[in-house]
């Protein structure tokens, strides 16, 4: 009798432990910053989310927001489970929401960094003045940045101007376009004299806009860590491991690689740590960005 009671107690304890084990979500949200219009982004990311759904065995759907902050906050709160985000967005998500970097992406050149560029119209005469007078030539100009949380669309190009001797609040007039494509569009429309965007944007957007051949690069910034794959602190370790495996195996070759290339020109993924983002933190300090908000 005692043996039966002991056996029943052990079984009940085991059942309790099993029932306490956290269940994986039935659907995972993959976050993206608003690189392009939401409709275009949905079309671009659909092949990727389909592959992730198949390989992870859990439905994966896209999440984006009207600005970078929305994605950062969603990752921190667990509304987004994992995300492919630029470096500064990750730093904010890590500092304020405990997000964890899983992997760093490689660009079309096989590098895990890129640059930002300032674009001007060829017929504006700004580049000629810049070659003669340096950053003084930009005083009084209107500049379109992308978003206050964009590394290539604000933090790095803004820091470059500051190091060049400009006071952003006094020497120029600037605005945030809300997207890289929108910043370029403002330059094409003549709404601004200069725009900041990621290196090569004028080529990547060629099929979307007319007149891009009339633009030229004024200057490039320092190297910026490339986009990364980051996970919410609430995501299970098992799922984080699965996600890393899928990105490094299934999304680094064949159809998976093609799907990634269509979004950020991603060609592969390598291990990453928080130390890889120290340069982003240092650059943010130049811009007096409060990383605690």
The predicted model gives 57-81 an average pLDDT of 92
Is residue 38 a part of any domain in this protein?
yes
Q: Which helix (H) or strand (E) holds 27?
A: strand 27-32
What's the confidence (pLDDT) of residue 5? 52
Q: Do residue 246 and residue 258 come from a single domain?
A: yes
Q: Do residue 199 and residue 278 come from a single domain?
A: no
Integer Cα distance of 141 and 175 in angstroms: 11
What's the confidence (pLDDT) of residue 293? 66
Nearest of 43, 117, 95 to residue 289 by alpha carbon? 95
The predicted model gives 83-93 an average pLDDT of 92
Q: Do residue 202 and residue 168 come from a single domain?
A: yes
Q: Do residue 119 and residue 211 come from a single domain?
A: yes
**Distance of CA 122 to CAs 145, 175, 194, 210, Å?**
19, 21, 11, 15
Is residue 151 a part of any domain in this protein?
yes
Helix (H, G, I), strand (E, B) or coil at 18: helix
Q: Given its phi and psi angles, is residue 97 left (phi above 0), alpha (psi -120 to 50 degrees) or beta?
A: alpha
Domain tally, the chain? 2
In angstroms, the first-to-last Cα distance of the chain is: 63
Q: Do residue 156 and residue 248 come from a single domain?
A: no
Q: Do residue 119 and residue 214 come from a single domain?
A: yes
pLDDT digits (tens, 9 = 90+) for 202-230: 888 877 888 999 999 999 999 999 999 99
Whether the CA torsion 177, 166, 189, 226 is positive or negative: it is negative
Is residue 259 a part of any domain in this protein?
yes
Burial zone of 237 (CB within 10 Å; 0-12 exposed, 13-18 middle, 19+ buried)? exposed
Q: Pairing state of beta strands 173-176 and 142-145? A: parallel
Q: Using alpha carbons only, how large is the chain's radius of gyration in Å?
A: 23
What's the confidence (pLDDT) of residue 21? 44
pLDDT digits (tens, 9 = 90+) for 109-154: 899 999 999 999 999 999 999 999 999 999 999 999 999 989 999 9
What's the confidence (pLDDT) of residue 11? 47
Q: Do residue 124 and residue 218 come from a single domain?
A: yes
pLDDT digits (tens, 9 = 90+) for 151-210: 999 999 999 999 999 999 999 999 999 999 999 999 999 999 999 999 988 888 877 888
Using N-to-C axis directions, what is the helix angle for 38-56 and 237-249, rounded to 10°?
Answer: 110
The predicted model gives 81-90 an average pLDDT of 92
Is residue 97 a part of any domain in this protein?
yes
What's the confidence (pLDDT) of residue 1? 52
Q: Do residue 128 and residue 209 come from a single domain?
A: yes
Q: What is the rounded average pLDDT for all residues in the chain?
A: 89
Helix (H, G, I), strand (E, B) or coil at 198: strand
User: Could you tell me the residue range of the domain that residue 233 belongs to?
Assistant: 27-111+226-287
19 — pLDDT class (breaks 50, 70, 90): very low
Whether the CA torsion 267, 271, 273, 278 is positive or negative: it is negative
6 — pLDDT class (breaks 50, 70, 90): very low
The predicted model gives 96-101 an average pLDDT of 95
Identify the CATH number of the domain in which residue 127 sits: 3.40.190.10
- Picking from 189, 224, 259, the residue at the C-terminal end of a domain is 224
Helix (H, G, I), strand (E, B) or coil at 179: coil
pTM for the whole structure: 0.78
Q: Do residue 121 and residue 172 come from a single domain?
A: yes
Q: Do residue 43 and residue 94 come from a single domain?
A: yes
């Amino acid at each position: 009798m005692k043996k039966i009671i002991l056996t029943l107690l052990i079984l009940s304890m085991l059942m309790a432990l099993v029932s306490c084990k956290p269940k994986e979500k039935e659907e995972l949200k993959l976050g993206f910053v608003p690189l392009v219009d939401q409709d275009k982004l949905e079309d671009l990311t659909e092949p990727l989310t389909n592959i992730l759904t198949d390989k992870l065995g859990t439905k994966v759907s896209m999440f984006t927001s009207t600005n970078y902050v929305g994605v950062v906050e969603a990752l921190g709160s667990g509304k987004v489970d994992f995300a492919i985000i630029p470096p500064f967005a990750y730093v904010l998500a890590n500092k304020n929401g405990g997000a964890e970097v899983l992997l760093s992406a490689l660009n079309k050149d096989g590098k895990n960094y890129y640059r930002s560029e300032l674009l001007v119209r060829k017929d504006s005469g700004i580049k000629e003045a810049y070659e003669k007078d340096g950053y003084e030539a930009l005083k009084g100009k209107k500049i379109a940045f992308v978003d206050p949380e964009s590394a290539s669309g604000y933090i790095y190009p803004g820091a470059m101007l500051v190091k060049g001797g400009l006071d952003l609040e006094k020497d120029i007039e600037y605005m945030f376009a809300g997207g890289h494509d929108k910043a370029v569009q403002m330059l094409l429309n003549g709404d601004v004299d200069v725009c900041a965007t990621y290196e090569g944007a004028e080529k990547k957007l060629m099929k979307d806009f007319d007149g891009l051949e009339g633009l030229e690069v004024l200057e490039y910034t320092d190297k910026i860590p490339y986009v990364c794959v980051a996970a919410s602190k609430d995501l299970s370790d098992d799922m984080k491991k699965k996600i890393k495996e899928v990105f490094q195996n299934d999304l680094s070759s064949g159809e998976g690689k093609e799907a990634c290339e269509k979004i950020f020109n991603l060609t592969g993924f390598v291990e990453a740590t928080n130390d890889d983002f120290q340069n982003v933190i240092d650059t943010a300090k130049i811009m007096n960005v409060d990383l605690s908000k």
